[in-house]
Every structure is written in structure tokens, then in C-alpha cells.
């Protein structure tokens, strides 16, 4: 009987251990506790070293933000790590981040899970480094603010699955974001730049850095927080600085046909928060026609996400007067060109070389040939800044051209272009903003404006 009991107990213990081992989370270590193998420094010149199984970053004067990045890019994952930070510092964990030569000379950009020991206590919030600023702050999440432990080790859990990013600090839900700006990139440990009055050599530490990349739905954790959705919504940073939605993502409110009193009944589609001009053979304003804002704009800053199809042609026009050109073709205004430069013949046309390529001032000024263009089928972001007579075109965060309306140089360009037949072309004090129907399928979302 004694032997049978021992056997039964052993069997139970073995079965329990086997089940426990079976259910063990298959984490992979990103840091070997001994060296910086698999990590690369980018950006500034802050110092990183390994000590007591932790990566330690220390501040340095006269250098920009510094990032210790993984050599490998990650798409969907669950990440956990511990961190400890000096109370005077600011830091963060970059995820799905990138460094491209044609984006701000290689500046690291992308999602950052904030490390913030200040009184603001935003640790666990989500910031968009070198792009859009705050996406999810913790101003209304007191529980997460209070969860941070000053001068102690803290734990982050970060889940990035599909278009959803969720974070926890010390087990407390801190952020829940739905955003599809970037799907893949490296993970990085940030040492923030410091001012001359700050003490160099202050430190932030990270340890127990581990990641999951498979069976994520099995290990994902539900968050009780309402998600912050950026698609066709203002971020907290945008709202604070005076941005407004120019399109609400659902209706045609605020827009009409360029030659209609109402929105076109054909040629345009709204679906899943995306506004699309449908393909109709490549003709200019021959199907649904161009659409314009009901409001007029003078000094403004405009942002539009757009996605082209292969060989597509379209444009964003501004200072548009719909009373001009009652005949065939598009309404008249200055145009931020949208084009498949590789496949559309317009890329090689125009009176000024290259002036019909992507992000150019159509037929007048060529955009920087080294502009950062995302491939066909991916989203790009156009930005147009008009202040006084000075105008800038931006593409994916890079300024690609600038000019001054009404200047002698500008008027000379107009005189040498197809626009010479239109008196005072582009010199309105205010005009409408237009999305062009050029007969090719092009999609738009996140249409936002800040006007004065």
C-alpha cells in the first residue's frame, strides 16, 4: 500500500509538472544578460553598457536622442521588460520603429512607450517619436499614473498585434491604441537628449527583456480601456494645437462636387473610413468629378493620407476657384501632385522637368527627387503648409519643396506653364481644397486641417 501511495503521489506530481511545463510561456530573450550582442546604437552618442544583468544607458551633453535598437525588425509581438529610471530623466521603449536615410537623415521614428518619472507620470503612454507626437497620454488614467514606482524597478507589458497596441505598467492597463501607421520595425531603448543645465551621466536601466512572436492570441491579455482610434480622429496633440477634421470618415459633410451643389452620386465611395475615387478610364473629371470643400481657406496646414493604385494619377489642389474653367477638365488651382512616378507617363511630361512627379507643384516645381515615397498600395502622407504667400509641400514627414506665391520667380514659372491662360493663377487670398478625380482609383483618409 505504501508503494502504491508513493506511486500515485509521484504520478500526480509528474502530471502537474508536465502540465505546468506545457503551459509555460515560450518567451525568447532579446538580451543575453551579458553583452549588447544583437543591438545597434542609432541617433546620438549617449552611452550604453551591461552591468549586473542589466543594460544601462547614461546621458551625454550636446547629442540628440539616442537609441539602442534590435538588429531584427518585429511585426506582431508581446514584449515584457523591467526598467528603472533616474527621476530627472525621460526615456522610452521604441516599437515598430525605423531609421531611413531619406527620412530626416536617418532619424529614428515610430511608436514609443513612454518612460516618464516626472510629476506628469505618463509612463506607459504611447508617443509617436519624430512624427505625430502624443497618441495616448495618461492624463485621464490616474490608475496607470499611480502605478509607476519612483526609484524602483517597474515592469512593462507591450502587446502589438495587427493594428492594436496595448500597454501595462506593473500590471495596470495604461494604453490601448488602434492605429495602422507602421506595421513593422525594430525595438529600441531610448536615452533622451538633455539640456546644458541637466547633469550628464544620469542613468536608465532595462533588464529581463523578452519577446513572444508566435501564438499571440493564446497569450494576449484583454484590456479594460476604451481604445483610442486614430483613423479619421484627432490625436490629443493635434486637438491641443488646433487641428480639425476636414472629413469625418463617414459622411460627405463639408464636401461637394466641384461643379455640383451636392456630393457626386457616382464615382466616389466611402467604406470602412476610407474615401475612394473609383477607376473610370483615366479621364480628368469625367466620372464623378472632383470634390471640393464647402469652406474657403487662406493660411492653413493640411494633412492627407493617400494610397495609389498602379499607374494612378490624382492630386490635392488648393486655392481653387470653382467658377473658373466651366469647360472640360479639372477645376483650377495649385496642385500637390499624386502620381505613380514609375508607371504613369505624366512623370516625364511638363514644361519644367519633373514637375509632374509625386508631391511636385504640378507643372511648375519638381519635388525633391530623393523624396520618401512608400510603394504602390501603401499609405503616404501629404502635408501642405500655406502661410502668407509661402507654401511648402511635405511627403511622409520630409519637406520636398517650397515656393512663394505672387513672387517674380513664381509668376515666371506660371508664364511658362499650361496655366498662363488663367489670369492671376494661384494668387487668391482664399480658395477651396480639392481632391481630384483623374479616372484612376486613389484612396484618402485622415484629412485634417489647421487654419488661421
Q: Tens digit of pLDDT for each residue in 363-395?
A: 999 999 999 999 999 999 999 999 999 999 999
**Is 174 a residue whose pLDDT tops 60?**
yes
Determine the Cα–Cα distance for residues 73 and 213; give it in Å rounded to an integer: 11
Q: What is the DSSP string of 143-194?
A: HHHHH--TTS-EEEEEEEETTEEEEEETTEEEEEEE--S-S-BEEEEEE---
Select from 294, 274, 242, 279 the least CA-distant residue to 441.
Answer: 279
Q: Tens digit of pLDDT for each residue in 212-233?
A: 999 999 999 999 999 999 999 9
- Give residue 1's pLDDT band: very low, low, confident or very high (50, 70, 90): very low
**Is 350 a residue whose pLDDT tops 50?**
yes
pLDDT of 22: 43
**The dihedral of CA 242, 247, 250, 254: what is its sign?**
positive
Domains of the chain, CATH where assigned = 24-214 (2.60.120.560), 237-451 (2.60.120.560)
Determine the Cα–Cα distance for residues 383 and 402; give it in Å rounded to an integer: 12
pLDDT of 346: 85
Q: Tens digit of pLDDT for each residue in 179-217?
A: 999 999 999 999 999 998 899 999 999 999 999 999 999
Q: Tens digit of pLDDT for each residue in 266-322?
A: 999 999 999 999 998 766 666 789 999 999 999 999 999 999 999 999 999 999 999
pLDDT of 3: 44
pLDDT of 19: 40
pLDDT of 411: 97
**Is 76 a residue whose pLDDT tops 50?**
yes
**Is 122 a residue whose pLDDT tops 90?**
yes
pLDDT of 286: 66
Select from 207, 203, 208 the least CA-distant residue to 85.
Answer: 203
Q: Tens digit of pLDDT for each residue in 86-105?
A: 999 999 999 999 999 888 88
pLDDT of 18: 37
Q: Tens digit of pLDDT for each residue in 390-442?
A: 999 999 999 999 999 999 999 999 999 989 989 899 999 999 999 999 989 99
Average pLDDT of the chain, as a whole number: 92
- Give residue 354's pLDDT band: very low, low, confident or very high (50, 70, 90): confident
**pLDDT, average across residues 55-76:** 97
The answer to whether 184 and 72 have CB atoms below 8 angstroms apart is: no
Exposed/middle/buried for 250, CB within 10 Å: 0-12, 13-18, 19+? exposed
Amino acid at each position: 500500500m505504501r508503494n502504491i501511495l508513493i506511486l500515485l503521489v509521484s504520478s500526480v506530481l509528474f502530471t502537474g509538472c508536465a502540465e505546468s511545463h506545457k503551459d509555460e510561456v515560450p518567451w525568447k530573450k532579446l538580451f543575453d544578460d551579458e553583452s549588447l550582442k544583437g543591438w545597434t546604437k542609432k541617433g546620438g552618442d549617449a552611452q550604453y553598457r551591461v552591468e549586473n544583468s542589466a543594460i544601462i544607458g547614461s546621458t551625454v551633453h550636446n547629442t540628440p536622442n539616442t537609441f539602442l535598437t534590435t538588429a531584427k525588425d518585429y511585426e506582431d509581438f508581446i514584449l515584457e521588460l523591467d526598467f528603472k529610471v533616474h527621476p530627472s530623466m525621460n526615456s522610452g521603449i521604441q516599437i515598430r520603429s525605423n531609421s531611413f536615410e531619406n527620412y530626416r537623415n536617418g532619424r529614428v521614428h515610430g511608436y514609443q512607450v513612454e518612460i516618464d518619472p516626472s510629476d506628469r507620470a505618463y509612463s506607459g503612454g504611447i508617443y509617436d517619436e519624430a512624427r505625430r507626437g502624443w497618441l495616448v497620454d495618461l492624463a485621464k488614467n490616474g490608475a496607470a499614473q499611480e502605478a509607476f514606482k519612483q526609484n524602483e524597478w517597474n515592469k512593462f507589458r507591450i502587446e502589438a498585434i495587427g493594428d492594436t497596441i496595448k500597454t501595462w505598467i506593473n500590471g495596470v492597463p495604461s494604453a490601448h491604441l488602434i492605429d495602422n501607421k507602421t506595421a513593422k520595425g525594430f525595438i529600441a531603448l531610448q536615452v533622451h537628449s538633455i539640456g546644458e543645465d541637466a547633469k550628464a551621466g544620469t542613468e536608465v536601466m532595462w533588464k529581463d527583456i523578452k519577446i513572444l512572436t508566435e501564438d499571440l492570441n493564446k497569450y494576449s491579455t484583454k484590456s479594460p480601456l476604451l481604445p483610442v482610434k486614430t483613423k479619421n480622429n484627432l490625436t490629443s496633440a493635434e486637438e491641443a494645437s488646433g487641428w480639425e477634421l476636414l472629413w469625418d470618415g463617414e459622411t460627405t459633410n463639408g464636401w461637394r462636387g466641384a461643379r455640383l451643389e451636392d456630393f457626386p452620386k457616382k464615382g466616389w465611395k466611402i467604406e470602412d473610413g476610407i474615401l475612394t475615387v473609383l477607376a473610370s478610364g483615366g479621364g480628368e473629371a469625367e466620372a464623378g468629378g472632383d470634390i471640393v470643400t464647402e469652406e474657403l481657406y487662406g493660411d492653413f496646414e493640411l494633412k492627407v493620407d493617400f494610397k495609389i493604385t498602379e499607374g494612378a494619377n490624382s492630386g490635392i489642389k488648393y486655392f481653387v476657384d470653382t467658377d473658373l474653367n466651366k469647360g472640360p477638365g479639372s477645376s483650377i488651382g495649385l496642385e500637390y501632385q499624386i502620381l505613380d512616378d514609375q508607371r504613369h507617363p505624366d512623370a516625364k511630361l511638363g514644361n519644367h522637368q519633373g514637375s509632374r512627379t509625386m508631391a511636385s507643384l504640378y507643372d511648375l516645381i519638381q519635388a525633391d527627387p530623393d523624396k520618401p515615397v512608400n510603394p504602390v498600395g501603401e499609405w503616404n502622407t501629404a502635408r501642405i503648409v500655406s502661410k502668407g504667400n509661402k507654401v511648402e509641400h511635405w511627403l511622409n514627414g520630409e519637406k520636398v519643396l517650397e515656393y512663394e506665391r505672387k513672387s517674380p520667380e513664381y509668376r515666371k514659372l506660371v508664364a511658362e506653364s499650361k496655366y498662363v491662360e488663367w489670369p492671376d493663377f494661384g494668387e487668391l487670398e482664399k480658395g477651396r481644397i480639392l481632391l481630384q478625380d483623374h479616372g484612376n482609383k486613389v484612396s484618402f483618409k485622415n484629412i485634417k486641417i489647421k487654419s488661421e
